[in-house]
Amino acid sequence: MRQTAVAVLPSPDPFDAQHVSASLSSRARLAVLRRIGGVDDAIRPALDRWTELAASLLRTPVCLISLVGEDEQVLASRVGVDLERTPITHSFCQYVVSGGAPLIVEDATQHPVLRENQAIDTLGVVAYAGVPVRVDGEVLGALCAIDRTARVWSTRDREFLCDLAEAVGADLRLRLQERELRRAHDIAAAHTRAHALIADDAPLPEVLQTVADAIEHFDPLVRASVLMLDQDAGTLHHAAGAKLPASYREAIDGVAIGPDVGSCGRAAALGVEVITPDIVRDPRWDAYAPTALAHDLRHCWSAPILDHSGTVLGTFALYGDAPREPDEDILDFLRASARLAGIAIERRRSAERLTHEATHDALTGLSNRQGLTERMAKTLERARRPITVLFVDLDRLKLVNDGLGHDAGDEVLRQVALRLRRAVRAEDLVARFGGDEFVVVPRRSLDERRVEQTARRLLREIERPVVLDGAEPVTVTASIGSVTIDPADVDVQEALRRADIAMYQVKSAGGGGYRPYVSVRDAQIARRLVLERELRGALDRDELRVVFQPIIRLSDGQVDGVEALLRWDSHRLGSVPPADFIPVAEETGLIAPIGDWVLRTACRAVAAYEGLRVNVNLSPRQLADPALPGVVAEALQVTGLTPDRLALELTETALLRADEATTDALVALEELGVELVLDDFGTGYSSLAMLKEHPVHALKIDRMFVAGLGADAGDRAIVEAVIGMAHGMARPVTAEGVEHEGHLAILKDLGCDYAQGYLLGRPGPLTDAVGEPPA
């Protein structure tokens, strides 16, 4: 019987199973493999040159270059076989790796170990000659020649293979150097961009995500997570990490820190680096492992994010879908990323602290006059409903200051501020205007009865005795004036002036009471009569025009359609806001002829553009008109616009008042092929019932919820819920009022279908949105 010829290999035995496993799982070796990356068109031609040459010189039917991992070998180049990879059980090359020396076999079927290897059947191996392929001192695999019959390999054969293996290693080293140079350049560019964003005071989430993107580019197998620490609550909150599943981010958001709370909880609690190679095997993960495993997360390496004094600001963590020890280079990058995140967070918090100090009252912690005017300006800018302002002036504070001293007066102011804050909703604006004056601006629109109820509640809270240290309790009263204004007509200073006038009227009458600014109502009545008179001839005088705002498809950023919006440029009144004249048109019945004109005008303009869609708003009065389906059909016929390119936007108010005739009209419009869109979804009281009872095809999220994205967790939750519900009912969703990049990023992350707003395009001529029509 022929004896198998095997090269003399150094101890330990390369066929020893324990030694083979340890060699294949070497962290240093696997690190080099990962750094080289996969075999692609850039490297394959060079490798193929060596396997073809080896097959020719050694006259063998099969020649391979294998890169051996822990569980499989990748056939990076091959002659004579079609396989791209095999399990490790189908590999002779693993023993070249474990031995670190050539393996020469004349007849594997007679070898006590190799005869059990599946490569004999899979690759037809009988005779085998393999030599190590080394890169940076690590054996990554082998260059091997295979014969399907027993064969004696000559000394020259072995020398050829050794020379060629050196050439293969040189090519792989060149690839490694090229990739690392390119990666170093990309990393430097990403960090330079992060530093530039920090210097430009870019939004913190954008900076942190840039840092996360850089480390994920460095190692595509990891997914980065940045959590910020709430120092007061001792909890961690998501700040960046777009590649982590959203449901996992939500699951860990708000987790309390502690030495036994996973990797990030421990890193934040102790301010130390925490490396968890396998989440399943780490007892600190026992409570959270099911959640992590449900999202295919198996390792977590966490570094604390520190400020310049060593205070923990949060954690920077890297997850992966398989158990893994980090290499030193990825650990270095993780530490550098945590430092960069710390710089960004500390700078932003410093800026926020300075801003807070500039816009808040040091005594009460409330917004000061500057903060009040800034926040009111933003409120008025995005408000679509009347805004109420309550001006509060304490009546007897001077007596407290004169009798008990200014320290006592300051304590009264602090107590009053706290009571005002507690007496209204958390989202309402409460500010110290100056001295003993306060301003309250409810976020929600209030009718007269609710405004008075709010004022009376504030008065009761203020009049409760204030307990002072070392003195008898003191009681102060207040004078409160209010004004409810239309944001389109009145600016911040005018609103405050009117509320102040109403307050002064109370104080002039003796104080301790409440009064609204009633002359606003008189002005509104007079203005309404003028608007009605002028609006009746506006269409004949050619004062009305239609503008178009683009609706953007978020999947690719392209214009999907436009919304037609009505504008009135009165010869006598100037530009009249839609919020002023639309209600007048509705109440007087003028909305019918005006609405018909808008419909025809919009359809005619859009018909000139192939495939472009247009949304046209319908008022409740139009929807209640049984003739509406005929009007729409005629407009389509006259203008040539196909029904599938027209969407009619309906308000919840219109559907809430729907009778049998209105329902029939909706059915007729649906049969016509026109899309029906529920506008301002979420602001009414019967949205879900409407979706079930009426043929609504799409939803639009009201701008009041979009405006709070990134700042108000409640608004994000509402938007996410609406999108999820709509998609569950197979209805697309459009978000209105997108004014910031942050809004856009969150909407994309939540899976919103379409968006419109000033960021994406202001209302204007149709050519501004989509260009000139085709010739």
Residues 340 and 423 occupy one common structural domain: no
Q: What is the pLDDT of residue 690?
A: 65
Least confident of 112-116, 139-143, 679-683: 679-683
Q: How far apart are CA 46 and CA 63, in angstroms?
A: 15
pLDDT (average), residues 729-750 = 91
In a domain, 380, yes or no: yes
Residues 536 and 675 occupy one common structural domain: yes
Q: What is the pLDDT of residue 525?
A: 55
Q: What is the pLDDT of residue 10?
A: 45
Token pair 């009872």 is at which residue? Answer: 693
Number of domains in the chain: 4
Among the listed residues 655, 717, 720, the one whose alpha carbon sits nearest the alpha carbon of residue 689: 655
Categorize the per-residue pLDDT at 687 as very low, low, confident or very high, splitting at 50, 70 and 90.
low
Residues 708 and 765 occupy one common structural domain: yes
Q: What is the pLDDT of residue 573?
A: 76
pLDDT (average), residues 195-219 = 84
73 three-class SS? strand
In a domain, 775, yes or no: no
The alpha-helical segments, DSSP class H, found in 552-708 are 578-588, 591-607, 620-624, 628-639, 652-656, 660-672, 687-693, 703-706
Q: How far apart are CA 451 and CA 459, in angstroms?
A: 12
Categorize the per-residue pLDDT at 196 as very low, low, confident or very high, splitting at 50, 70 and 90.
confident
3-state helix, strand, coil split of the chain in percent (to 5) is 50, 20, 30
Q: What is the pLDDT of residue 686?
A: 47
More confident residue, 209 or 192: 209
Q: How far apart are CA 41 and CA 76, in angstroms?
A: 11
Q: Is the pLDDT of residue 423 over 60?
A: yes
Q: What is the pLDDT of residue 225?
A: 94
Residues 589 and 709 occupy one common structural domain: yes
Contact 37, 217 (CB under 8 A): no
Categorize the per-residue pLDDT at 336 as very low, low, confident or very high, splitting at 50, 70 and 90.
confident
Residues 149 and 258 occupy one common structural domain: no
Q: What is the pLDDT of residue 682?
A: 65
Q: What is the pLDDT of residue 1?
A: 32
Q: What is the pLDDT of residue 88?
A: 92
Categorize the per-residue pLDDT at 95 as very low, low, confident or very high, splitting at 50, 70 and 90.
very high
Of 517, 547, 582, which one is at a domain's C-terminal end? 517
Contact 66, 76 (CB under 8 A): yes
In a domain, 321, yes or no: yes
In a domain, 472, yes or no: no
Q: Is the pLDDT of residue 315 over 50?
A: yes
In a domain, 186, yes or no: no
In a domain, 3, yes or no: no
Q: Is the pLDDT of residue 46 over 70?
A: yes
Least confident of 132-136, 193-197, 342-346, 577-581: 193-197
Least confident of 59-73, 253-267, 469-483, 738-752: 469-483
Q: Is the pLDDT of residue 66 over 60?
A: yes
pLDDT (average), residues 646-664 = 79
At 126, the amino acid letter reads: V
CA trace torsion 650, 652, 658, 661 (10° rounding)? 10
CB atoms within 10 A of CB 639: 18
Helix H or strand E segment including 320: strand 312-320
In a domain, 61, yes or no: yes
Q: How far apart are CA 747 and CA 732, in angstroms?
A: 13
Q: What is the pLDDT of residue 658?
A: 62
User: What CATH number did the domain enclosing 323 receive?
Assistant: 3.30.450.40
Q: Is the pLDDT of residue 503 over 60?
A: yes
Mean residue pLDDT of the chain comes to 87
Residues 696 and 750 occupy one common structural domain: yes
The percentage of the chain sitting over the pLDDT mark of 70, rounded to a whole number, equals: 94
Q: What is the pLDDT of residue 607?
A: 93
59: Cβ contacts below 8 Å, ≥ 6 apart: none
User: What CATH number did the domain enclosing 674 receive?
Assistant: 3.20.20.450
Residues 455 and 323 occupy one common structural domain: no
131 three-class SS? strand
Q: Is the pLDDT of residue 279 over 70?
A: yes
Cis bond leading into 732, ω under 30°?
no
Residues 564 and 507 occupy one common structural domain: no
Residues 612 and 682 occupy one common structural domain: yes
Residues 512 and 543 occupy one common structural domain: no
pLDDT digits (tens, 9 = 90+) for 594-618: 999 999 999 999 999 988 999 999 9
Residues 634 and 679 occupy one common structural domain: yes
Categorize the per-residue pLDDT at 350 as very low, low, confident or very high, splitting at 50, 70 and 90.
confident
pTM of the model: 0.43
Residues 142 and 90 occupy one common structural domain: yes
| DSSP symbols for 388-439 | EEEEEEESSHHHHHHHH-HHHHHHHHHHHHHHHHHHS-TTSEEEEEETTEEE
Least confident of 156-160, 568-572, 656-660, 747-751: 656-660
Q: Is the pLDDT of residue 222 over 80?
A: yes
pLDDT (average), residues 749-775 = 90
pLDDT (average), residues 306-313 = 90
Q: Is the pLDDT of residue 521 over 50?
A: yes
35 three-class SS? helix
Q: What is the pLDDT of residue 599?
A: 95
Q: Is the pLDDT of residue 701 over 70?
A: yes
Categorize the per-residue pLDDT at 657 as very low, low, confident or very high, splitting at 50, 70 and 90.
low
More confident residue, 712 or 88: 88
Q: Which domain holds residue 433?
A: 369-396+408-463+478-517
Q: Is the pLDDT of residue 588 over 50?
A: yes
pLDDT (average), residues 417-430 = 91
In a domain, 403, yes or no: no
What are the C-alpha distances in Å from 146 to residues 71, 73, 97, 118?
A: 22, 16, 17, 14
Q: Is the pLDDT of residue 539 over 70?
A: yes
pLDDT digits (tens, 9 = 90+) for 432-458: 998 899 999 998 888 888 999 999 999
Among the listed residues 520, 443, 444, the one whose alpha carbon sits nearest the alpha carbon of residue 481: 520
Q: Is the pLDDT of residue 12 over 70?
A: no
Least confident of 6-10, 144-148, 184-188, 627-631: 6-10
Of 148, 179, 210, which one is at a domain's C-terminal end? 179
Categorize the per-residue pLDDT at 466 as very low, low, confident or very high, splitting at 50, 70 and 90.
confident
In the numeric block, which tokens belong to residue 246? Answer: 């959203």
Least confident of 399-403, 604-608, 651-655: 651-655
222 three-class SS? coil
Q: Is the pLDDT of residue 264 over 70?
A: yes
Q: Is the pLDDT of residue 652 over 80?
A: no
Categorize the per-residue pLDDT at 623 as very low, low, confident or very high, splitting at 50, 70 and 90.
confident
Least confident of 150-154, 242-246, 528-532: 528-532
Q: What is the pLDDT of residue 508?
A: 64
User: What CATH number did the domain enclosing 445 receive?
Assistant: 3.30.70.270
